[in-house]
C-alpha cells in the first residue's frame, strides 16, 4: 500500500515535453550546439543549468560559460517554449490526483524546475491539490536528477517508510534518481522513448500513459 506519491512534472503532470524538446533544439542551434529532441528526453530531469553546462562541456570544452551566460541562455529557452505553446495539463492527471487526495494519501511534486510561478501554475491546472511544503524543486535541490537527492528529500520529508512511497516518472534520469534513492517507481512512457531506454534501472511498473496509471492506481492504494 502506497501512502505518498512523488510526481515528476514535465511529461507526467503536464504534456509539455514536445515543446520543451523543440525549444531546446532551436535555442541550442542558435548557440552553435547540436541537441536533438531525443537528447532532450534523455536529459529530462536535469536542471536547466546542468543541461546547458553539460552540452557546452561536451561540444565546446574550451568555452568559458559564466552564470550570466547560463541565465541568458535559459531565458531564451523559456521564451521559445512559451512561443511554441507552453504546457497543457496531461489528460487524466487531475483525475489521478483527486483520487489520491480522496484516499488521504500524500501528494508531492519532485521536479528540476526553478520556475518562481510554479505553485500558481499547478494551482491553475490542479486546484486544491498542491502545497508549497510538498514541493521539491531546483531551489531545494540545485543538484538534481539523476542524483537521488530530490527523491531522498521528498521521502525524508514524508516521514514514511520507503516501501510506502511511490515515484511517478517519465524520464530515464528520473528513474535513475528514484532507483538510487531505493524507491518504488512507476514509469509513464509519454514520449518517444522505448523500454530499453529505461531497462538498466528496472522500473517496477512500466505504463504507456496517464490513463493506464489511473487504471493501475487502485492496486497501489489498496494492496
Mean pLDDT of 120-141: 91
Cell numbers standing for residue 123: 494551482
Q: Using a pLDDT cut of 90, give the percent of the chain over it.
A: 86
Contact present, 47 and 115 (Cβ < 8 Å)? no
* Neighbouring-strand partners of residue 92: none
pLDDT tens, 83-129?
999 889 999 999 999 999 999 999 999 987 767 677 888 999 999 99
90-94, 113-117, 163-167, 200-204: the lowest-pLDDT one: 113-117
In angstroms, the CA 109 to CA 134 distance is 6
Q: What is the pLDDT of residue 116?
A: 61
DSSP string, the chain: ---EEEE-SBTTTB--HHHHHHHHHHHHHHTT----HHHHHHHBTB-HHHHHHHHHHHH-TT----HHHHHHHHHHHHHHHHHHT---BPTTHHHHHHHHHHTT-EEEEE-S---TTHHHHHHHHSTTT--GGGEE-TTT-SS-TTSSHHHHHHHHHHTS-GGGEEEEE-SHHHHHHHHHTT-EEEEE--SS--HHHHGGG--SEEESSHHHHHHHHHHHHH-
- Over the chain, what is the mean pLDDT? 94
Average pLDDT, integer, range 69-95: 94
Confidence at residue 144, expressed as pLDDT on a 0 to 100 scale: 78
Q: pLDDT (tens digit, 9 = 90+) per residue, 168-196?
A: 999 999 999 999 999 999 999 999 999 99
Confidence of residue 39 (pLDDT cuts 50, 70, 90): very high
Task: Report the range of poorest mean pLDDT among 130-139, 152-161, 188-197.
Answer: 130-139
Could you tell me the domains of the chain?
4-15+89-222 (3.40.50.1000), 17-84 (1.10.150.240)
CA distance 74 to 114: 11
> Could you tell me the pTM of the whole model?
0.90
Among 176, 181, 177, CA closest to 165: 181
Q: 102 φ, ψ to 5°?
A: -65, -30
- Output the pLDDT for position 114: 67
Amino acid at each position: 500500500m502506497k501512502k505518498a506519491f512523488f510526481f515528476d512534472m514535465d511529461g507526467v503532470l503536464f504534456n509539455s515535453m514536445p515543446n520543451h524538446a523543440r525549444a531546446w533544439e532551436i535555442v541550442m542551434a542558435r548557440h552553435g550546439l547540436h541537441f536533438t529532441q531525443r537528447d532532450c528526453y534523455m536529459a529530462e530531469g536535469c536542471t536547466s543549468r546542468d543541461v546547458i553546462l553539460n552540452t557546452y562541456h561536451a561540444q565546446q570544452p574550451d568555452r568559458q560559460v559564466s552564470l550570466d551566460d547560463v541565465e541568458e541562455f535559459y531565458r531564451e529557452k523559456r521564451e521559445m517554449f512559451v512561443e511554441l505553446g507552453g504546457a497543457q495539463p496531461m489528460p487524466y492527471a487531475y483525475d489521478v490526483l483527486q483520487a489520491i487526495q480522496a484516499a488521504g494519501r500524500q501528494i508531492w511534486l519532485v521536479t528540476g524546475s526553478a520556475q518562481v510561478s510554479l505553485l500558481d501554475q499547478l494551482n491553475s491546472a490542479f486546484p486544491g491539490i498542491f502545497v508549497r511544503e510538498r514541493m521539491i524543486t531546483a531551489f531545494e535541490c540545485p543538484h538534481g536528477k539523476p542524483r537521488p537527492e530530490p527523491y531522498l528529500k521528498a521521502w525524508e520529508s514524508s516521514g514514511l517508510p520507503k516501501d510506502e512511497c511511490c515515484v511517478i516518472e517519465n524520464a530515464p534520469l528520473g528513474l535513475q534518481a528514484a532507483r538510487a534513492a531505493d524507491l518504488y517507481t512507476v514509469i509513464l512512457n509519454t514520449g518517444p522513448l522505448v523500454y530499453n531506454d529505461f531497462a538498466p534501472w528496472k522500473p517496477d511498473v512500466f505504463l504507456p500513459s496517464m490513463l493506464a496509471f489511473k487504471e493501475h492506481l487502485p492496486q497501489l492504494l489498496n494492496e
